[in-house]
Amino acid sequence: MRIAYQGEPGAFSEAAARQIDPAAELLPCRGFEDVFDAVITERANYGVLPIENSIGGSIHRNFDLLLEHQLPIVGEVEQAVVHNLLALQGTTMEMVRRIYSHPQALAQCDRFLRRLTDVEVIATYDTAGSAKLIIDEQLRDAAAIASARAAEVFGLATLHVAIQDYEHNVTRMIVIGPKPLSARPADKTSIVFSLSNEPGALFKALSVFALRGIDLTKLESRPVPDRKWEYLFYADLAVAQDALSCGRALAHLAEFAPMLRVLGSYPSCRTTATDKPAPQSFERLA
């Protein structure tokens, strides 16, 4: 099995990919779009993407990419995130004048960063990529916010451990792919829909699930591109798509939602802790 993820070795997405299958061959990608492309072009069986962090909230770009592409969500994993401050061996905290990391990581370490003086905070495309930048350019006056594994991969020293604002920092990762990831039955369904701009439209939409006892574990609105002040609604349902209650709810919603699409129905994190990947046969990847 080959799994694509965004970032350099040592990224938290890499750790999530290893949760799926520790023996999998991993394919690092620079951007989220590249992860989709790797799966679409069959350079990878699956892709792993962050979708929501318990501190920083949703990763909105990946909601948009799910809509742009036809790859379904086939699974999810939760990845614990512990941010460390890394620098070249011999660099001290007093020497640091720049700190690099992904915008989400910087936001998750806001309290620590605000305590620093005369330090420039610089956003980059990846946490582990920031660690790689430090070692590649031998930046003696800089540090990176990244994982403990990134420190091992790039041979960096750890100046501070666990600098995130909250101890329990978790990122929920979705898995995309053309085939089921697991033999386990689905117990979660992700959808996106639009509504007419009229009084009670959202209440009416949510009632199709409430009337059938379906729990919404997440509801997110995103702007519709090129249509000012119009929105799409992304929702996670704690039920499989093929359950009778879910089928009836979606059919009811489709009666008045101008657009409705199922993004995937899959086993949730709660049921995949001891799961094993389904057998694969991707001859073109050999």
* CATH for 1-79+169-179 (3.20.20.80, 3.40.190.10, 3.40.309.10, 3.40.50.720): 3.40.190.10
pLDDT at 157 (0 to 100): 98
pLDDT (tens place) for every residue of the chain, 286 residues total: 999 999 999 999 999 999 999 999 999 999 999 999 999 999 999 999 999 999 888 999 999 999 999 999 999 999 999 999 999 999 999 999 999 999 999 999 999 999 999 999 999 999 999 999 999 999 999 999 999 999 999 999 999 999 999 989 999 999 999 999 988 999 999 999 999 989 999 999 999 999 999 999 999 999 987 888 889 999 999 999 999 999 999 999 999 999 999 999 999 987 544 444 444 433 333 3
- Per-domain boundaries in the chain: 1-79+169-179, 84-163, 182-278
User: What CATH number labels 182-278?
Assistant: 3.30.70.260
CA 140 to chain centre: 32
Q: What is the rounded end-to-end Cα distance, in angstroms, of the chain?
A: 10
pLDDT of residue 271: 56
- Do 277 and 1 form a contact (C-beta atoms < 8 A)? yes
Residues 62 and 50: beta-carbon distance below 8 Å? yes
- Spell out the CATH class of 84-163: alpha beta
DSSP symbols for 12-31: HHHHHHHHH-TT-EEEEESS
The pLDDT, as a whole number, for residue 195 is 95
CA angle 67, 108, 111 (to 5 degrees): 155
What does the pLDDT look like over 90-114, one tens digit per residue? Answer: 999 999 999 999 999 999 999 999 9
Rounded to 5 degrees, φ, ψ at 182 are -135, 155
Rounded Cα gap, residues 241 and 186, in angstroms: 8
Nearest to 29 by CA among 76, 67, 83, 65: 65
**Do 84-163 and 182-278 show the same overall fold?**
no
Coil, helix or strand at residue 185: coil
